[in-house]
Each structure stands twice: as C-alpha cells, then as structure tokens.
A = this chain, B = another copy of it.
Amino acid sequence: MPKAPKTAISPTRKENYPEWYQQVIKESDLAERSVVRGCMVIKPWGYALWENIVRSLDNMFKETGVKNAYFPLFIPLSFLEKEAEHVEGFAKECAVVTHHRLEKSPEGGLKPAGALNEPLVVRPTSETIIGDSFARWIKSYRDLPLLINQWANVVRWEMRTRMFLRTSEFLWQEGHTAHATSAEAVERTRLMLDVYARLAEEYLAMPVIRGRKSPAERFPGAVDTLCIESMMQDRKGLQAGTSHFLGQNFSKASGIRFQNAEEKEEFAWTTSWGASTRLIGGIIMTHGDDDGLILPPRVASAHIVLLPIFKNAQERILVMEYTEALAAQLTDRYYHDQKICVEIDDRDIGGARGWDWIKKGVPLRAEIGPRDISNDSVFVARRDRGVREKQAIARNDFVSGICSMLDDIQENIFNRARNHLRENSRTIDDAKAFYDYFTPNNQDQEKNQSEIHGGFSYSHWCGSESCETKIKNDLSVTIRCIPLNDEYGDKGKCICCGKDSDQRVVFAKAY
C-alpha cells in the first residue's frame, strides 16, 4: 500500500489552480473529455449532482407558475437571422447541419449527402424557435402571461473549452415568458434572478451578488440582462445564471402579438433566463480543497458513504449485516424532501477506498468495524472538516441527527465561501490602487501568474464603453455587474477617466 500523499489532489490550488480544477474533476469522477471536440461526458457521479440541481430548480420554477415544454433542436437559419444583434452574437459559434444522410464515397467510407435546402443551426439558445410557437399560442391578453421552461442541450462552438465552464455542448434550462406589459416582464426578469440566487445560496452554498450587466455584456438582443455573480477560490468571478428582459425585440422579430382588453393589437413583452451545467464548475471552485471535491449536502450525488471494515469472512458477514441495516434506517429518512441517499463501498482496496470518497466530496463518511458494532456506534467523518477528524457517534443518535449534521455542513461551507467573498472584496477609488490590485505581485506569481489577482473591486464607472474596454485590455478585468443592492449607490468619479459616476460596479477577472 503506498503511503497516502499529503494532499489527495496534485497540484494543490496554490500551486496551479486551473490544473487543480481539472484534476478534481478527474479524481472525483464527475466527467471526462470526449473524443468530440469541446464536448464532455458527464459521468454518473457528475450527472447525479446535475439531477439534484435540476430537481431543485424545477420545483422552484413550478412554484412560480412555470410549465415545462420541449422545442426542436434545430433552428432554420432564417429564424436566427430575424433578430440582428442576436444572430451577430451567435453566428461565430454555430454547429450547422447541411445534409440529411450519408452515402458511400468513391474513396470508400461515407460522405454527407442529401443537401438541405436551408441549413439548420443546432440551437445555441431558443428565443427564435420558441418565439415561433409563442406567436401561434398567444392571441389575447387572456393567454398572458405565458410562462414556459425547457430543459435541453445546446451547442456553442467554443474555441477554448474548459470542462463544465465552457463546453461546445452543455445542458441547461432556458425559460421564456411573454407578458402584456413591460412592467410585468421586468418583474418576471427579477423574480427569476431571485430564483437563481436562491438556488445558488440555499442549495449550492454559493454566495452571489445580484446585478445588471453593462450594455456591452448583455445577451445579444436583450434590453437588460440581470445576473448572479459569485467568487471562486482564485478570486475570479463566475457568472452563475442570467435573466434577460427582452423588451419587444423578439416579439417583433417573431410576430408575438396579442389583443389587449381594449381589443387593440400589441406586441408582447418577453423575457428569457438560463442556468447550466456551468453551475457544477462553480460548486467545484467554491468549495473544493486540496483533497478534492466538497459537495453541498442539499444537492450532493449521495449524502453518505458507509465503509464496512473487516479482517476476514466471518467479520465480513457480521459487519455487512449491520451496515445494510443502518443503510436501510438512513434511507427511510428524508433530508429536505429527498430520501437520504446512501452508498455502501465494500471494496477490499485498503486506504485508497476512504480517499476515493474524500475526493468525490461526499458530505459524510462512516466507518463500521466490529468494535463499532459492539459499541453500537459509527465512526463518522465530515467532508467539511480535516480529513483525519473522525468522531464515534452512538448509532441511534447518528440516525436521528444526520439531517442536522448535513444542514450544519451546508451552513458551514456557505459561511466559508461568504467569508472568502467578503475578505477579497474592496471598494477602490484610486486608479493606481485599482491597477495594483489586479496586477500580480512577485510573491504570488511563481508558476501560476495569470491566475493571481486581487479579487472583486467595487469601483466607480462613468458608463462609457471606452473605459470598460480600456480596463479590459489593460488588466483582463471586466465589469461583472452593476449591483442591484443599493448599499453601493454612492456617487463618485470613474476609476478610469475620472468623470462623474452614479454607482459602483463590480470589477473582476472572470471565467
């Protein structure tokens, strides 16, 4: 048996954060790269996490009156062209279907055949194809609001991909709503942002800032884009969900008209909002440590693993019987409306077994050996604490207390992330201090220069795209959002040009 390494993941976060990220995904068995450029395979441990995120979000959507539906994967090219900014935004990264069969090529092998009259784009997002249905479904103000969501795969042909964060194909949901008034659509845009914030904070234990994108960072075709932004452990920002007020842009493009109460015809006001498998990247980089993944209990792929310990066949029988009985007891309990999900790992592979589950980030590990059984107790480790910190707990206390222990882990990792966000956020009003904040210092540079920077800076911005662009070019720092929270609503001078500014914005490097 090789001696356990000092940390289960190599390199550590400090040594090389991007490589640490890839290694955590590999060692936790969440996902792998596929042979198809930029696409990934989501493995069972990763997919179970996604299923829990889906269920949590889907329930919240339905509570606000949203219904699910499904629209075609393919979008006729002419549809995408209907909204000028929209097609501009997606044209550079579209997978295009041009043929509908294969035939033998003269060189042997097969080649595309049956050219389509009109190429089809694999949906990068579905505003235009869903708009086509909405135009048919909506006739009168009585049909409004129309509140629809779709769970689907989408394709954006990214040139630089990173697992979960930016892949050519990804899984997501896209909500699309239509309303009789602008005010109601604006309200829905905000409501769905709050749903995403609740998912992030209550389920993923990921504190977020609610904000508005600068015009340059808006969704192509939107009037206003709201977003939640979170801070990863390398102090970069991650956009974790967006909610767009589309005004009448898409209803005009798709002909979504309704007769109002006065029997006059109007264009509807629409919104769209989405969150994706990118959230899994956020979980990894918010909570993971140098021993691997740490899963928030509310969405964890499993809540607990039971690790039976035995020296021989006789002990095995005794221990397995106890373990299975305990598993049955636990599985009968509910943790926030979901049955406790228990894994039993009886592989005979020595210390590697425990490390596997540490790396996979399961919230609780419980060892069960003959001595524990004679005490009617289990030996429990929490993933949010030190790897070697274990505690004997009487079986009954453990069973009755498991939910509060899971809640405690959930709260603990949320608080840790919130402290990290607070400690690495500053208000900066001086240009030199701002540039220093985002410029790597010598000590931090080492191997990992490009990844090191200050954190989030709440600084004033005059609103001009030229200042935004200059800062982006100089520092690779972008405006993550204009916070909705008016805590930062003081007036001041733009950090770039010194002109008057009404509000601070969040500047950061970002994924």
Q: What is the interface of chain A, defined by CB distance below 8 A to chain B?
A: 32, 34-36, 39-44, 46-48, 50-51, 67-81, 87, 91-103, 109-112, 114, 119-122, 129, 132-133, 136, 142, 148, 152-153, 155, 157, 169, 171, 347
Among A97, A101, A142, max chain B CB count under 10 A is at: A97
Residue pair B132, A72 in contact (C-beta under 8 Å): no
Residue from B70, B95, B102, B129 in contact with A74 in the complex, judged by beta carbons closer than 8 Å:
B95
Tell whether A51 pairs with B68 under 8 Å between CB atoms, given A121-B102, A133-B41, A136-B32.
Answer: yes
Shortest C-beta distance, A256 to chain B (Å), equals: 15
5 CB-based A-B contacts, threshold 8 Å: A44-B69, A73-B153, A73-B169, A77-B109, A153-B153
Q: Give A101 to B159 CA distance when docked, in angstroms.
A: 11
Q: Give A77 to B102 CA distance when docked, in angstroms.
A: 9
Residues of B within 8 A of A42 (CB): 69-70
Residue from B79, B94, B102, B103 in contact with A100 in the complex, judged by beta carbons closer than 8 Å:
B94
Residue pair A69, B93 in contact (C-beta under 8 Å): no
Residues of B within 8 A of A142 (CB): 347
Residue pair A41, B71 in contact (C-beta under 8 Å): yes
Shortest C-beta distance, A45 to chain B (Å), equals: 9
Q: Give A171 to B103 CA distance when docked, in angstroms.
A: 26
Tell whether A169 pairs with B109 under 8 Å between CB atoms, given A91-B101, A133-B32.
Answer: no
Q: Give A78 to B148 CA distance when docked, in angstroms.
A: 38
Residue pair A67, B44 in contact (C-beta under 8 Å): yes
Shortest C-beta distance, A345 to chain B (Å), equals: 13
Residue pair B95, A110 in contact (C-beta under 8 Å): no
Residue pair B100, A95 in contact (C-beta under 8 Å): yes
Tell whether A73 pairs with B121 under 8 Å between CB atoms, given A44-B67, A67-B48, A68-B48.
Answer: no
Residues of B within 8 A of A39 (CB): 72-74
Q: Give A142 to B347 CA distance when docked, in angstroms.
A: 10
Q: Give A102 to B171 CA distance when docked, in angstroms.
A: 23
Q: Give A99 to B95 CA distance when docked, in angstroms.
A: 6
Residues of B within 8 A of A41 (CB): 69-72, 133
Residue pair A109, B81 in contact (C-beta under 8 Å): yes
Residues of B within 8 A of A133 (CB): 32, 34, 41
Residue pair B110, A75 in contact (C-beta under 8 Å): no
Residues of B within 8 A of A93 (CB): 100-101
Residue pair A96, B91 in contact (C-beta under 8 Å): no
With CB as the reference atom, state the residue of chain B lying closest to A114.
B157
With CB as the reference atom, state the residue of chain B lying closest to A71.
B41
Residue pair A98, B101 in contact (C-beta under 8 Å): no
